[in-house]
Amino acid sequence: MDKDRFGNTHAPELPYAHGGIIRDSQDDHRKLREAWRHIAAREKSHGLNTVYNLSGLERRYEAPPDTHHLMDDELAPALMGRRLEELALDHLGGNPAADAIMIFNRQTAAILTATLTLVEPGQTVIGVSATGSHPCVVRAAKRAGAVFIDTSGLAAFETALATASDVALVSLTRLAVSYEILNVSEIEKIVGLAHNKGARVLVDDAGGARVGPAIFNQPRMLELGVDVGSTGLDKYGTIGPRVGLMGGRRELVEKMRALAFELGVEARPMIFPAILHSLEQYDPARVRELVSTTKNVITAVKKRLGNRVTETPVIARLEGEDILEIAIERAGLNDRTGIVPIEASAALSMLLLRDYGVMTVHFAGLPPGTSALLIKFVVPETLQRFGGAEKLAEAIDASLDALAGIIGDEKSFRSLLYGEHD
């Protein structure tokens, strides 16, 4: 089992350790409910305009006013389905003659359904990315009863493929949760080797579907030669709602569609007007603008935290281990007092929300895909409303000071994360 910098063993299926305060996904949801309480309290006391979504995710319902009458589960697919499929296939780089799309209630549901469709119990799934598969990929393989092997990079993938038995599926992640990206030549080799082995290729392209083409000049998702893949429409140039858009070979997508309806994980058709609008307004230039704004924030934060900030070509991370170390140092303590990195990161995010109205990505995933605080795809209009990059950097620095003030006090930690009081 992998360990973090402090020697804590990673939780099953996760790239970080649980601790005594955040123990499981139930606790993740408890802190999410506390975050909602802070948002509601801030709206009541200061107005909704003082809540700033700087998570890099946009999950709103936005549709033209003249489409509201189509918010109907029967009318929407009948009257908008054809146009939606056309736009979605174009977004994904699909071929209308050979490919189809399916919309799931979440990206996680899309990956789960695809895996359950393509894998039999006892078969092998190989995950491949730059740094590690998202927990949803790992958990989907587990629920399919498959043997899961995770690999980072082409060389490790080749070794796994050559030695593993009965490989049915390769789950490829173009843009990892760490925001390192596989290059096109690696992807092409991975896809070719998988197909030569008789395995199908599923791409978890949650953010890569837009970041790859817009920032790295890569092909669109289905132009990579994969069999099927999905992306979220709450990320990086699309504006929500939060759904998983699956596309790929028609015969495979149709099987997934049938299973999705059996499981009840399909998206409600009444949200099609907003999905259609999200695809219609998409412009690759917006992705580049989000990255440019993010780099301004990164520069401001690095002035305060230096090499504690890990930068990739598109985002920056303040690792959970570094958050914990900074808090310990500022508190003048000699150890971590029983706190693990995910708990320190969660506390920092809650302090930013409580004291500054800043929403971070940390509360978006259940469980979070990383223990790091991510600075990513910052919306320039929201940043300006908050006060700019320097003010955000100041808020992060001040929140680290506040974290240091409670790092040795479990009671205060619990109160912050869960609202527990005597």
239 and 301 share one domain: no
| Rounded Cα–Cα distance for residues 390 and 31 (Å) | 28
116 and 258 share one domain: yes
Nearest residue to 116 (alpha-carbon basis) of 246, 270, 268 = 246
Q: Collect all residues with Cβ–Cβ distance below 8 Å to 150 and sequence separation of at least 6.
A: 126, 127, 128, 132, 133, 138
In a domain, 15, yes or no: no
In a domain, 341, yes or no: yes
Contact 235, 207 (CB under 8 A): yes
Domain boundary among 232, 267, 302: 267
Q: Both tokens of residue 37?
A: 């309480």
291 and 258 share one domain: no
Which letter does DSSP use for residue 217 in this model? -
Q: How many independent structural domains does the chain possess?
A: 2
For residue 191, the enclosing domain spans 74-267
139 and 198 share one domain: yes
Tally the residues of the chain.
Answer: 422
In a domain, 17, yes or no: no
83 and 42 share one domain: no
323 and 191 share one domain: no
In a domain, 218, yes or no: yes
DSSP letter for each residue of 329-350:
HHHT-SS-TT--HHHHHHHHHH
333 and 398 share one domain: yes
The pairing of strands 147-152 and 124-129 is parallel
140 and 215 share one domain: yes
Burial of residue 280 (number of CB atoms within 10 Å: 0-12, 13-18, 19+): exposed
3-class state of residue 108 by DSSP: helix
In a domain, 402, yes or no: yes
In a domain, 8, yes or no: no
Give the pLDDT of the chain (422 residues) as one tens digit per residue.
689 999 999 998 888 999 999 999 999 999 999 999 999 999 999 999 999 999 999 999 999 999 989 999 999 999 999 999 999 999 999 999 999 999 999 999 999 999 999 999 999 999 999 999 999 999 999 999 999 999 999 999 999 999 999 999 999 999 998 899 999 999 999 999 999 999 999 999 999 999 999 999 999 999 999 999 999 999 999 999 999 999 999 999 999 999 999 999 999 999 999 999 999 999 999 999 999 999 999 999 999 999 999 999 999 999 999 999 999 999 999 876 789 999 999 999 999 999 999 999 876 667 788 899 999 999 999 999 999 999 999 999 999 999 999 998 899 999 999 996 54
pTM: 0.93
382 and 308 share one domain: yes
In a domain, 133, yes or no: yes
Contact 258, 336 (CB under 8 A): no
